[in-house]
Structure 1
Amino acid sequence: MNEFIKEIITVSTLESYASGCVKIYDTLSKLKDIGYKKLIIPSRGAYPFYYGAQTVSVITGSRWGESFEFTTHFKKWLLPFTSDWGGHSNPDFSSRKSRMFWAKILADVINGEETIHLRYFRALVSTFGNLLTVNTGDVYPPANFSKNVSGDDKFIFIDTAISGRAIHEIITAFRDLGLTNYFIILVVDNNGNLLEGEYKNTIHTEKGQGRLVDIPVEKIFSEDASPLLNRGISALVFPSIIQGAYAEIPDFHRDEMVGAGIWFIDSLSHLRHTDPERNGIMGALGTLLYAAINAYLDGESEFHSHMVDFDTSNMIDRAGKLRIDDPKSTEQFFKDRLHYRNANIDLDLDVSGSHVVRVNFTEDEVGKFLKCIK
């Protein structure tokens, strides 16, 4: 039932993935040398590429301190630009409004402005991050991102693209909010063959202005997938909070922007103790990616196919009856994590086709949360 793993994780896709990680490392190194420090990762699919770039720094560093200096130089913020908030048909909501909201949060932090949008997001992370046992270290808005603290407003944005719609909407939001001092590292799925006209034009415009580099890869198998395939990250969104905030906070309705979500960076950490077999799926994939990066850097003409066949078979065997591509498995992982951490709360949950876990709260719970914001 998990044979699809052998279709998406192949010698060719691993070599392409490794190439992407090396190119990201090279780009980050150049940006580091000209003073870029702030780094935003807005998608689950992009995070493993950044992790791979760190792996490159470990392999290529002539001494341990070089890798440490590369890794600690960047101030990382995992800010979820997801628009997959729910299956409702309310015309008041759109991906554009959601991504404008996330861009607004970023702009407020960069500019050192205290707004109701930022106050709301801080409260969201603090309140529901704690409730849902989320490690919020890289999720909470970092004070050192403010230009008043760091002395500049430039930042790096590492994202992925399939059709290009998301990055088009994000760039449009940046422009509308006056954010111009950024550099986008864009990993493009299917070697760019699925990019659509208007969105492709936006990408080319940014490239022409020297604010974007695109890195085509064969397959982003970490995108919109199980946390087993993206180093254990889950996306949580709160549809009832979104609806309540848009209705109750005048600034949100006036500015036509709204959002509510957080990254769950270690959503599968419990598997080390409760299900070592499934946890080993991440380990096998991590081994393959490390080996692929190492082979690419060594200039090997072909990554060893027998290793790929062995480790993908191992992943399938470890999964057993669990369907990795079924979003319901991601929902169950989330429930199991809460149970493991003794978070005895009764939640209304569902999950999207892209493995985004939706957590709904009662009207009273939403009202209580919003009362402390307004």
Structure 2
Amino acid sequence: MNVNTITLDEIRSYSLACRDLHINIRLLQDTGFDLLVVPSRGAHPFLQSANYYAHRLQLRDSSVPWNSHLLETLYLPFTADISDDQPVTSSSIRSYWSRVLSAILNQNKNDVALRFYEFLRANAGKLAVDKSHVRNRSNRQFIFLDTVVSGRAISEIFDAFNKYGLTDYCHYILIIDEQGKKLKPNFSHKIDEMESSGRATRILVDKIFTEDEGPAMSGIWTVTMPDLVLAAKEMIPDFSQTGDIAATFFYWEIQNREDESNKAISVSNALLFMLLNSGISDSDKSTKFYLEQFRHHINDTKLQRQVITQEIATPLIGENLNTINTDVSSSHVIRAFMDKQKAQKLVRSFLNK
């Protein structure tokens, strides 16, 4: 996506979606939903600005209740980064994360999928900064917030939630790109069915220009470990039988490092936040200003290039994961590679525990 083609109308549409997201979350909270699950980087900018909108409302009118602090948020990396030479499908990856989510909600700490995720985080050093558990709750209702382009990913998640008994407790809020024009008919039909059953709410957007643009747009770095996936699939009986496996985690890194090597990412996220918030405030003058600033910064720093994401991420990942090298996908997912022996050693360590 070329930042030079972003229009004011697209900013307004994006910002209105953030407002609508807040409104829908509030409505669901009022009916008992007290957990929000965020499975993708693409949803994060919407949530940030939705929270800003909630804050503005409360500042304007103190009688307006602002209960966002009652909504617990859980980030899980449902991102399915696959390649032709990897014997794991996108549906298998999303099934694995659905199993992890089910184990978290049921407080099933012995589930092998959840334990493997926690093992991975325990071996990720400073990169595993977010939680993997939720507080004890009186009900299992949760909101699942995701962005949708073709509909394939969310359709695979629908199927996986059915498999693990999560559908009856979930309400999907789906932010849909290009007013739904990119939806494939068979996937669109599944969303229609979920919406007609009262299980989904769709929010249409002119263009999700932040989608698959990496940490420059979301502040979230997604790391997959393909060699560890293969070793775990071969060596852990449960994963061998089901085929459902992933070795992925998110981490946030938008504050400046001491050497300022990630300063450009920090600035881009701050500019995007101000840009979207100006759209919510209905101030065209401010929106035009921040849009120009954002464009100039992204162009000058070349943050949309995968090689730049790789340059910024590699030193920190190598330091914490002790990997051989990294690669970056077209959607800025970072692949951290290790030799086969080390991957097998890690899996044996997991099995011994």
Q: TM-score, normalised by structure 2?
A: 0.91
Of structures 1 and 2, the one with the larger relative CO (CA 8 A, separation 6+) is 1
Confirm whether residue 185 of structure 1 aligns to residue 173 of structure 2: yes
CA contact (8 A) 1:328 1:351 kept: yes
Who is 1:333 aligned against? 312
* Structure 1 position 294, deviation (Å): 1.6
How many positions carry a matched residue from both structures? 348
Who is 2:117 aligned against? 121
Confirm whether residue 27 of structure 1 aligns to residue 24 of structure 2: yes
Q: Which amino acid aligns with 1:333?
A: I
Confirm whether residue 247 of structure 1 aligns to residue 234 of structure 2: yes
CA contact (8 A) 2:78 2:97 kept: yes
Q: 1:294 to 1:177 in 2, by over 3 A?
A: same
Who is 1:98 aligned against? 93
C-alpha distance in 2 between matches for 1:65 and 1:101:
43
Confirm whether residue 268 of structure 1 aligns to residue 270 of structure 2: no
SS of residue paired to 1:274: coil
Unaligned stretches of 5+ residues in structure 2 = none
Who is 2:269 aligned against? 282
Who is 2:13 aligned against? 16
Q: 1:294 to 1:115 in 2, by over 3 A?
A: same
C-alpha distance in 1 between matches for 2:301 and 2:115:
40
Unaligned stretches of 5+ residues in structure 1 = 296-302
CA contact (8 A) 1:18 1:289 kept: yes
C-alpha distance in 2 between matches for 1:367 and 1:68:
52
Q: 1:335 to 1:207 in 2, by over 3 A?
A: same
Who is 2:222 aligned against? 235
Who is 1:300 aligned against? none
C-alpha distance in 2 between matches for 1:273 and 1:333:
11
CA contact (8 A) 1:44 1:222 kept: no
> Equivalent of 1:314, from 290, 293, 312?
293
Q: Which amino acid aligns with 2:132?
A: P
CA contact (8 A) 1:57 1:70 kept: no
CA contact (8 A) 2:3 2:298 kept: no
* Structure 1 position 373, deviation (Å): 2.3
Describe the superposition over 1:118-173 as per-residue Cα deviations: whole angstroms up to 9, x where unpaired. 11111111212x1xx21523xx32142xxxx3121111100010000000000111
Confirm whether residue 358 of structure 1 aligns to residue 351 of structure 2: no
SS of residue paired to 1:150: coil
CA contact (8 A) 1:164 1:196 kept: yes
CA contact (8 A) 2:43 2:146 kept: yes
* Structure 1 position 319, deviation (Å): 4.4
* Structure 1 position 273, deviation (Å): 6.3
Q: 1:63 to 1:314 in 2, by over 3 A?
A: closer
C-alpha distance in 2 between matches for 1:367 and 1:42:
28
> Equivalent of 1:134, from 121, 127, 133?
127
Who is 2:209 aligned against? 221
Who is 1:153 aligned against? 140
Q: 1:320 to 1:28 in 2, by over 3 A?
A: closer
Q: Which amino acid aligns with 1:171?
A: F
Who is 2:192 aligned against? 204
Who is 1:299 aligned against? none
C-alpha distance in 2 between matches for 1:135 and 1:67:
36
C-alpha distance in 1 between matches for 2:257 and 2:64:
29
C-alpha distance in 2 between matches for 1:277 and 1:256:
39
C-alpha distance in 1 between matches for 2:337 and 2:51:
36
SS of residue paired to 1:268: coil
C-alpha distance in 2 between matches for 1:358 and 1:98:
15
* Structure 1 position 346, deviation (Å): 5.3
C-alpha distance in 2 between matches for 1:135 and 1:260:
13
Who is 1:370 aligned against? 347
Confirm whether residue 324 of structure 1 aligns to residue 319 of structure 2: no
SS of residue paired to 1:313: helix
Who is 2:4 aligned against? 6
Percent sequence identity over matched residues? 25
Describe the superposition over 1:194-243 as per-residue Cα deviations: whole angstroms up to 9, x where unpaired. 0011111110111011010010101112211031212x111111111111
CA contact (8 A) 1:83 1:95 kept: yes
Q: 1:343 to 1:79 in 2, by over 3 A?
A: closer
Q: 1:278 to 1:47 in 2, by over 3 A?
A: closer
Q: 1:249 to 1:336 in 2, by over 3 A?
A: closer
SS of residue paired to 2:213: coil
SS of residue paired to 1:46: helix
> Equivalent of 1:163, from 145, 150, 160?
150
